[in-house]
């Protein structure tokens, strides 16, 4: 592929271990958007590659993903929470975060399976809306929050009771949950150097996790050890073969509720050149 590769990534702390220094790689143009907006731009061919909600792989044909780099939930994940205003078994009306796609789908799957399709309704407010404010305004029973806002609420004082969808997934499947992967849109062929760049950013980002935790602790006035635990233990960024199994399991459960297309495969990018060589970003 010649020219500039247009790359999108979420503006959240959890994306930093995968995008650190990526904007300094030659031939890449990097923008930051919430996951739902990244999906829109990828579909409109405004982006070539995006660190985007994993469910998008199974909603349109022709997508591929970059193996070896993803946002994984290993168990509980503080930045994806269903905050409760009623006990879990009494949930009937849940407000979804409009910035989300994978977490929305996971919550729909888990709550529908556990509570019954006929018992729980989901509402997605307009783009940019605060799901907590919408839940409180409308009297909803719970709200899904993702990203840094969810993290600050969960790790802050007086956090509401919550249901952790990633922890539930891992408990049920013994697999990590892939919230986001680098998705390549149809018609874009990555060169080996591009995959090298994504893996190099991952390696830099993972090495910088202690510093990222310190920065977020100072910025948000949260305990540093909690921020470090979030990045180092709750989340993973360098998946192996389990990524493919997790993606396919998610597709199948989402498709059972008509939230994904069961016939679409999870296809990894296979560059012709080994891509594990670490290449530091230019300065």
One domain for residues 248 and 198: yes
Q: With respect to residue 192, please indicate whether it lies within any of the assigned structural domains.
A: yes
Residues 98 and 141 in one domain: yes
Host H or E run for residue 242: helix 242-255
Contacts of 156-162 with C-beta under 8 Å, sequence gap 24+, read: 156/220, 156/222, 160/83, 160/84, 160/85, 161/83, 161/84, 162/81, 162/82, 162/83, 162/84
Kindly state whether residues 98 and 168 are assigned to the same domain. Answer: yes
The answer to whether position 160 is within a domain reads: yes
CATH number at residue 43: 3.40.190.10
Query: Per the structure, how many domains does the chain have?
Result: 2
Domain co-membership, 150 together with 105: yes
Specify if 265 maps to a domain.
no
pLDDT value for 282: 35
pLDDT of amino acid 278: 33
Residues 86 and 18 in one domain: no
User: Is the residue at 54 inside a domain?
Assistant: yes
Tell whether 67 and 191 lie within a shared domain.
yes
46 and 111 share one domain: no
* One domain, residues 66 and 122: no
Predicted confidence band at 162 (pLDDT cuts at 50, 70, 90)? very high
State which residues form the domain around 22.
5-72+178-223+236-255
**In the predicted model, what is the mean pLDDT of the chain?**
93
Residues 88 and 147 reside in one and the same domain:
yes
Domain presence at residue 231: no
pLDDT digits (tens, 9 = 90+) for 57-96: 999 999 999 999 999 999 999 999 999 999 999 999 999 9
Confidence of residue 119 (pLDDT cuts 50, 70, 90): confident
* Residues 199, 207 contacting (CB under 8 angstroms): no
Residues 168 and 185 in one domain: no
Percent of the chain with pLDDT over 90: 91
Contact 112, 257 (CB under 8 A): yes
User: Is residue 277 in some structural domain?
Assistant: no
Residue 228 lies in a domain: no
Do residues 148 and 113 both lie within one domain?
yes
Q: 22 and 146, same structural domain?
A: no
Residue 44 domain flag: yes
The yes-or-no verdict on residue 155 having pLDDT over 70 is yes
Residue 126 confidence class, pLDDT cut points 50, 70, 90: very high
Question: Alpha-carbon torsion 179, 248, 66, 206, what sign?
Answer: positive
- 118 band by pLDDT with thresholds 50, 70 and 90: confident
199 has pLDDT over 60: yes
Please state, in angstroms and rounded to a whole number, the distance separating the CA atoms of residues 63 and 70. Answer: 15
């Amino acid at each position: 592929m010649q020219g500039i590769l247009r790359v999108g990534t979420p503006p959240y702390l959890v994306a930093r271990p995968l995008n650190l220094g990526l904007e300094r790689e030659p031939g890449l143009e990097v923008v930051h958007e919430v996951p739902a907006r990244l999906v829109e731009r990828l579909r409109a061919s405004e982006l070539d590659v995006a660190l985007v909600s994993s469910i998008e792989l199974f909603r349109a044909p022709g997508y591929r993903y970059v193996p070896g780099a993803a946002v994984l939930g290993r168990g509980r994940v503080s930045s994806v929470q269903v905050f409760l205003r009623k006990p879990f078994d009494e949930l009937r009306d849940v407000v979804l975060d409009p910035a989300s796609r994978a977490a929305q789908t996971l919550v729909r799957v888990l709550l529908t399976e556990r509570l019954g399709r006929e018992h729980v309704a989901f509402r997605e407010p307009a783009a940019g809306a605060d799901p907590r404010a919408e839940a409180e305004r409308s009297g909803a029973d719970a709200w899904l929050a993702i990203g840094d806002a969810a993290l600050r609420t969960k790790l802050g004082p007086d956090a509401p009771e919550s249901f952790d969808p990633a922890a539930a997934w891992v408990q049920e499947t013994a697999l990590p949950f892939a919230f986001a992967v680098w998705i390549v849109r149809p018609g874009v062929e990555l060169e080996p150097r591009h995959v090298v760049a994504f893996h190099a950013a991952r390696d830099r980002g993972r090495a910088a996790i202690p510093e990222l935790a310190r920065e977020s602790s100072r910025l948000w006035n949260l305990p540093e050890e909690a921020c470090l635990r979030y990045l180092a233990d709750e989340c993973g960024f360098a998946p192996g073969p389990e990524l493919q199994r997790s993606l396919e399991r998610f597709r199948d459960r989402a498709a059972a509720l008509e939230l994904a297309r069961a016939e679409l495969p999870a296809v990894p990018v296979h560059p012709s050149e080994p891509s594990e060589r670490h290449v530091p970003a230019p300065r």
